[in-house]
Amino acid sequence: MAKTNDKLIVNGKRLDGRAFGDMRPITMRINAVDNADGSAQVSFGNTEAIVAVYGPRKLFPRFLQENDRGIMRYRYNMAPFSCTDRIRPGSSRRGTEISKTSRLAFEPVAFLNDFPTTVVDVFTEILQADGSTRVTGINAASMAIAVAGVPMRDLVAACSVGKIQGQLIVDLNGIEDNNSEADVAVAMMPTKDRVTLLQMDGVLTKDELFTLLGKARENCMRIYDMQKAAIKNSFKQNQDAEAAVEADNGEMQ
């Protein structure tokens, strides 16, 4: 990890004014991409991800098909303009690694056995990066997959936790991510209380790790409630709009 000599904690607060256990402001919306089967856009502070899901649809060429189950392809990508330093377009080692681990976070969740010989394509684009990009993308992907109609055991909620200057914190921003003593990405099925992704970079004691996992669980439950609310509100708005159109048509007749 890159290190800085600047203090990350001033007067008991993080540089952005948050307490150690505070998450950044979160926004969520679905149907962000009109031509996708399911889509969502999620931001944690200045980190913003948009996800488009296509499928389940027939997979070609045929030799890639699985006769007893569908497959999921997950692509994580950072837009060239997402960082202060321009990202080189195209695949990267980091992007390939995050794509694989993010896909594995959904393996125990999606009922792909119900859709043999098909594929679900998940495209995650990081529009703006300020730390915790993979978990932001996973939260958006979870909503987009659900909206696409892929049956799941549960939504997947994800957050980051870590340690800076001896203090345990949640939802690392960019400078904290780059200069932390440890950072941990956690994804889970909240109602099942099952972890589907756990990645750690850095060094923690056993007690610190379990404390952080507890904090991650609490925040994943909060994120899960926000995901459900965003999906329900969007569908309600669509139903209200359809009802209004039907009422207008009735009056015109």
* pLDDT > 90 fraction of the chain, expressed in percent and rounded: 82
Single-letter residue type at 90: G
From 127-136, 179-188, 231-240, the region with the lowest mean pLDDT: 231-240
> Quick one: average pLDDT of 202-206?
97
Q: Residue 152's closest CA among 215, 96, 228? A: 228
pLDDT in tens, 23-77: 999 999 999 999 999 999 999 999 999 999 999 999 999 999 999 999 999 999 9
Q: Decide: helix, strand or coil at residue 53.
A: strand
pLDDT for res 115: 95
pLDDT of residue 234: 80
Contacts of 54 (CB under 8 A, 6+ apart): 36, 37, 120, 121, 123, 148
* pLDDT score of 197: 97
- pLDDT in the model for residue 6: 75
- Who's near 39: CB < 8 A, 6+ residues apart? 30, 31, 32, 33, 50, 51, 52, 53, 144, 147
Task: Decide: 162 and 180 in contact? Cβ < 8 Å.
Answer: yes
* Residue 21, CA distances (Å) to 65, 109, 171, 212, 225 in order: 45, 28, 8, 10, 18
Is residue 2 very low, low, confident or very high in pLDDT (cuts 50, 70, 90)? very low
Tell me the pLDDT tens digit for each residue of 6-27: 799 999 999 999 999 999 999 9
Q: Which residue segments constitute the domains of the chain, with CATH numbers given? A: 15-239 (3.30.230.70)
- The mean pLDDT value for 210-237 works out to 94
Q: Which residue has the higher pLDDT, 226 or 86?
A: 226
Q: Is the pLDDT of residue 4 over 60?
A: no
Mean pLDDT, the chain, rounded, equals: 91
Please report which confidence band the pLDDT of residue 1 belongs to, taking 50, 70 and 90 as the band edges.
very low
Task: Dump pLDDT digits (tens) for 112-157.
Answer: 999 999 999 999 999 999 999 999 999 999 999 999 999 999 999 9
The yes-or-no verdict on residue 237 having pLDDT over 90 is: no
How confident is the model at residue 228, as a pLDDT? 96
Least confident of 83-92, 154-163, 204-213, 217-226: 83-92
The CB density around residue 191, as the number of other CB atoms within 10 Å, is 12
pLDDT at 238: 65
Residues 6+ positions from 90 with CB-CB distance below 8 Å: none
Cα 195 to chain centroid, rounded:
14
Q: What is the average pLDDT across 238-248?
A: 58
- Distance in angstroms (rounded) separating the CA atoms of residues 247 and 219: 42
Structure tokens at 103: 């896909």
DSSP 224-239: HHHHHHHHHHHHHHHH
Q: Give me the residues paired with residue 29 across strands.
A: 41
Distance CA 15, CA 176 (A): 9
pLDDT at residue 247 in the model:
54
Q: Are 189 and 106 in contact (CB under 8 A)?
A: no
pLDDT band at 236 (very low <50, low <70, confident <90, very high): confident
pLDDT of residue 30: 95
